[in-house]
Amino acid sequence: MKRIAVFASGSGSNFQAIADAVENETLMAEIQLLVCDKPGAKVIERARKLNIPIFTFVPNTFASKAEFEKEIVNELEGHSVEFIVLAGYMRLIGNVLLDAFEGRIVNVHPSFLPAFPGKDAVGQALEANVAETGVTVHYVDSGMDTGPIIEQVKIPVFPGDTRETLQERIQKAEHQLYPAIINKLLQKDTVGGIVQ
Active site residues per annotation: 109
Contact 76, 100 (CB under 8 A): yes
Q: CB neighbours of 174 closer than 8 A, spacing ≥ 6? A: 13, 14, 17, 108, 110, 135
- To the question of whether residue 86 is assigned a binding role by annotation, the answer is no
Is 4 annotated in some ligand binding site?
Answer: no
Whether 7 contacts 84, CB under 8 Å:
yes
Residue 54 pairs with which residues in a beta bridge? Answer: 34
Question: Is 65 labeled as ligand-binding?
Answer: yes
* Distance (Å, whole) CA 155 – CA 176: 13
Rounded distance, CA 96 to CA 116, Å? 26
Q: Is 192 annotated among the ligand-binding residues?
A: no
Determine whether the annotation assigns residue 91 to a binding site.
Answer: yes
User: Any binding-site annotation on 107?
Assistant: yes
Q: Does residue 90 have a known ligand-binding role? A: yes
* Known binding residues: 12-14, 65, 90-93, 107
Q: Which residues are annotated as part of the binding site for (6R)-10-formyltetrahydrofolate? A: 65, 90-93, 107
